[in-house]
Copies of this chain bind each other. A is one copy, B any other.
């Protein structure tokens, strides 16, 4: 950490800052320039709250030299993480993963129809939501564990892996038998209690970026899970909130190459939530793969317009099949397979 003192800082102020830095556990190197004094703190700073120093008298500003995450940083595994599933499917390698399914699992027929389509298209993951707390207390709230059982059965029949969102610690254990990849939704990206428990779980985690989270915050949340010993994390860009209103969110495609630079973790993209509009899903899915995404997460439904939730952003099955075909060509163009 670097603390820059104001030009008129007194010696007394400087000493007070040095003392606080030492209390925080770092070695302090002082450089006294002609106009200002700079204090460099060397040592473990990841857990130091730097903002405390910003408001000490005489301080101009405080800067963090090293990144606040370690396990999630690229330097920890320069060669990159490949998350391998029991059936041999790998995310983070050459293969671009396609994860598709309904926002909400509605009934047996629906999820089995979709599973067959996902398989036929050559995708490897079936996604579906079982717990759907909704903004209206009168709306469909999801089938819960019985829904997950249906999805699991459908996935088994077709050799697919399942992805589903976990929302509370209490759900983890009952979901375990039916879930290959736990999804943490955007609203829970900083639910640290939940992240801690998932760090103890022995299943991979798909961690979605919060709607107004920086990439640094996303990696800090990944760090939180990894600190518990679970290193199988897949990051997911799903759109951020900006001033632009023509799409529900602004999908930050540049997050994909930036995360690949900063971290060793695989990165997938969710163009359904990223745009909120069915007609924007195919171009943004293609853009994500072209930018290097390790996978795509999309919402599909045989009767998309009447899906129980997220209807506007859900693809029809034929649209999905067409999209996978197009993505396969793009993947090849960037040296990947799908």
| Residues on B with beta carbons closer than 8 Å to the beta carbon of A253 | 251, 253, 284, 287
A61 to B254: give the CA distance in the assembly, Å. 18
Contact B196 A137 (CB under 8 A): yes
Is A87 interfacial (CB-CB < 8 Å)?
no
Contact B137 A227 (CB under 8 A): yes
Is A241 interfacial (CB-CB < 8 Å)?
yes
Is A51 interfacial (CB-CB < 8 Å)?
yes
Contact A277 B65 (CB under 8 A): no
Q: Contacting A250 at CB < 8 Å: which of B8, B224, B252, B283?
A: B252
Contact B283 A246 (CB under 8 A): no
Is A242 interfacial (CB-CB < 8 Å)?
yes
Contact B192 A135 (CB under 8 A): yes
- Which B residue sits closest to A249, measured CB to CB? B254
Contact A245 B139 (CB under 8 A): no
| Residues on B with beta carbons closer than 8 Å to the beta carbon of A313 | 51
Is A286 interfacial (CB-CB < 8 Å)?
yes
Is A202 interfacial (CB-CB < 8 Å)?
no
Contact A311 B52 (CB under 8 A): yes
Query: A18 CB to closest chain B CB, in angstroms?
Result: 14
Contact A55 B290 (CB under 8 A): no
Contact A280 B257 (CB under 8 A): yes
- For the complex of A and B, the 9 pairs showing the least CB-CB separation, nearest first, are A212-B212, A290-B290, A51-B312, A287-B287, A133-B192, A287-B291, A286-B290, A257-B283, A329-B333
